[in-house]
Amino acid sequence: MPPALEVQDITVRFGGLVAVDKASLTIQKGDLIGFIGPNGAGKTTLMRVITGIVTPTEGKVMLYGRDLSGLTINQRIRAGMALAQQIVQPLRKMTLVENVALAAGGAKTANPFVAMRSFDRRAERARAMELLARVGLEKVADSEPAKLPLGYLKRLEVARALALDPKLLLLDEPLAGLNQIEAAGLADLIRALNDDGLTILLIEHNLREVMRICPQIYVQEQGRSLSFGEAKEVMSRPDVVHAYLGGD
């Protein structure tokens, strides 16, 4: 079985600036990897390479052995990836259940000719309700996103990503902007999803929660892979401590 995700020697240059420098990372099926690094480490750029928003100068990304080079973001999503974005972006004119049901209707939206002949939304709405219940939003399923606080919208992002039935879930700072209780609740949910077998790559600044839920950590600094391995072991390494705290 090939790895869930292989990031192979990715380099990204923006003009003279090297944002990511030969970064490599391998995620096995069922892993929950915490992806950390100080500001400016190139985490978001690497995530964008994985999702296809940024084209790398060198290197390639493989999903379950399939080379994703040249695929657009929607093609990568169809290949089995799902992304919950750092800045929440609900479809504001739709209710929560409609947001999630649209994602659940992948079979109907893949082809415009199929979409124009498909009308029934009941199965997708039922699936959306299940997922909203999974993330604790079933009571506000018919609300509009504009009326809900950030913590709810972060969960909506996760529910919508889950509706794509992904083989790999990418979470870009899902805990950012949440208070301690909300962050702990969402982190518990991420852990529970992984316990159910979902492979997850979690970019996060909240070290406390990353250390609590992630068995393994990948650290990037100044665009380079710094360390990857068992969480406590990685965080005890002097170079990782130095990257985070500075000093000699």
Would you tell me which residues interact with another protein (CB under 8 A)? 51, 72-75, 77-78, 83, 85, 89-94, 102-103, 105-106, 108-110, 112, 114-119, 121, 160, 164
Contact partners, residue 39, CB within 8 Å, separation at least 6: none
Per-residue buried b or exposed e for 170-204, using 16+ beta carbons within 10 Å of the residue's own CB: bbbbbbbebeeebbbbbbebbbebbeeebbbbbbb
Smallest distance from another protein to CB 124, Å: 9
* 164 phi/psi in degrees, rounded to 5: -80, -5
Residue nearer to another protein on the CB measure, 104 or 210: 104
Which residues share a beta bridge with 14? 17
Query: Based on CB atoms, which residue is closest to another protein, 25 or 170?
Result: 170
Closest approach, Cβ 70 to another protein, in A, equals: 15
Residues with Cβ within 8 Å of residue 195, at least 6 apart in sequence: none
| CB-CB contact of 96 with 145 (8 Å) | yes
Shortest distance (Å) from residue 89 CB to another protein: 5
Closest CA to 169 of 40, 75, 47: 47
CB 77, min distance to another protein, A: 4
Kindly report the backbone phi and psi dihedral angles of residue 13, in degrees, each rounded to the nearest multiple of 5, phi listed first.
-115, 130
In this complex, which beta carbon is closest to another protein, that of residue 11 or of residue 95?
A: 95
- Cβ-based nearer residue to another protein, 91 or 211: 91
Residue 118 vs 216, nearer CB to another protein? 118
Q: How far is the CB of 133 from another protein (least distance, A)?
A: 20
d(Cα 170, Cα 64) in Å, to the nearest integer?
Answer: 15
